[in-house]
Structure 1
Amino acid sequence: MKKVFLFEALHEATDEEMAQDPKVFVIGEDVGHYGGSYKVTRDLHIKYGDLRLLDTPIAENSFTGLAIGSAMTGLKPIVEGMNMSFLLLAFNQIANNVGMLRYTSGGNFHLPLVIRGPGGIGRQLGPEHSQRLEAYFQGIPGLRIIACSTPYNAKGLLKSAIRSENPVIFFEHVLLYNLQANIPSEEYTLPLDKAEVVKEGKQVTILTYSRMRYNVLQAVDKLLLENYDPEVIDLISLKPLDINTIERSIKKTHKVIIVEECMRTGGIGAELIAQITEKLFDQLDAPVIRLSSADIPTPYNGKLEQATIVQPQQIIDAVKQICEMNNTW
């Protein structure tokens, strides 16, 4: 085992896959000589050259389109968004080409393409740099959406995403890059369609992902002192959802709390509630509680910004509330 930061885990995954497969390359703004805004591609241009770490102009629609064309011809591009919010400028390419070309070509073209970069609500980055784009992309057919949350799953998932024959949107949270943890020294990959049971419990299932995993765990530490026993699941795969893992947990706890940084309206939590209601309604002993960010642009002011995000105390209160509900609902 070795201890690395999350950005270093992503760097290792990219480096290893580029070494193993000459078809893999990275394209985006400042990914070459600068090494990426969060140093995920640091010094890789020295090892692989400027054509495999391809610095681009500030033109997301153009370089995303270039990456799509290269994927159609057999290459394996990794598109880095300097901030995932900027990729809204390439939404047409992502929706009409990345998600659809395999289908509209009758299977003649594959799109082995990864689109990755920092997203989520940072610290006073303002509304345009603090968007939660998983809600935007989840409605596009043909895309897989991943949200890494630890150095271990960041490396294993990114390697699997690069090797996939299908397009993957890979979300990294801007506040998790300096998260440090042990990962295996030997090579490993992780499945792209599996959630992680972070903590087993019996009373209530808490579904979360990305940065909110840590707000949930802060809340759980305090809840355990009061003899509450929640189960915590990190979704990881936002599309498709690992409904089998979710189902096993709900059949044990019969209560669900969703904790997300996404917007409440049309967010990942909304889709979770829809699927749980359709498939597991009879297993519920209480209404699903959804804790989401406020439906407003993220404020720049630090205190207002924190007020829009789910805090550990809200999770504690929700667990106590749902555990006190009787089973006559």
Structure 2
Amino acid sequence: MALASRAEQLAGSIIDADKRSRALHGLATAVTAAGDHERAAEIARSLADQEAQAQALTDLATAIAAAGDLDRAKALAIEAEQKIRSTTGEEDRKVHVSTEVATALAVIGDHDRAEEIARSLADSYWRSLALTGLATAAAAAGRHAEAQASAIRSGKMARSIVDPYRQPHALIGVATAFAAAGDHKRAEALIAQVRIVASPDEHARALIGLVGAATAAGDHPKAKALAARAEQVIQDIAEPYWRAKALVELVAAVTAAGDHERATALAARAEQTARSDSDPWSQAAALANLADVVEPDRARRLIAEALAVGRWTTPLEQIARIDPATIRTFLDQFVTSWVPPS
């Protein structure tokens, strides 16, 4: 991966700290998707601050767990936890990363450590999100009673949140967790309660979660009906990027449900919506998101357009996933033509 080394040097030479961090994080994600987990971890550890390192290592741990290497994933998640515990950075950012570390550990199977982190979070919002992560992970592992117990605890915590914007977000997460645990009645009742105050984006995400849960339960008519409701709600999302993102998530859900005709139509709407975005960077991100859920030839076209209009880091993960050789060619050309700032 000599080429990745040169790209890493390029990203590291960016003067603006936030842009440099985003570039290196994006590169770590792409290198992970290309299969070089050791190098991805090295790049993650090169980020400037502990919170950013912890976030990148957590993302890497989750990806490696999905690939089946649970021991390596656990070691990285524990490293991320240690980094976030030792940092003195912004508190909200620390608890955000801690919540994601707890979820990653739950997915990996270290439930005791995940539970310990969740209990350590004093803020009701973040503790609710962590418990929702634990519930979802337990449901995915088939431990539905444990999942329901965590979802109930998360719901109680969510109802104690006083922030009028954060509470609906937390409660919708709880509803999705109940659905994953097989309690569809409670999930739908909870969504009905909060949909009045939730944003269309949050409402749509909740319904998409229910589509996935119904599909997993084998209830395809239910999944189809929920998908239709989600599609209607998505129309009310004002921002093109978020509307396209919701459509992409719905494409993935209805594809998993076997409704390929609807998936094709939704993907076309998502692409049209992405192109309507006047901001080139968010348009590029929306096109890259869509590349995750369409066939490879169409994905390559979308990725090429994302590269043309947005940041060079935006579609790296998608490139690495469908064609690692292509990312090496692109990075080679980019590094060769790059002129350092004077």
Q: Same fold (TM over 0.5)?
A: no
- Give TM-score, length-normalised by structure 1: 0.29
Task: Name the one with the larger helix percent.
Answer: 2
The higher relative CO (CA closer than 8 Å, separation ≥ 6) is in 1
Task: Name the one with the larger strand percent.
Answer: 1
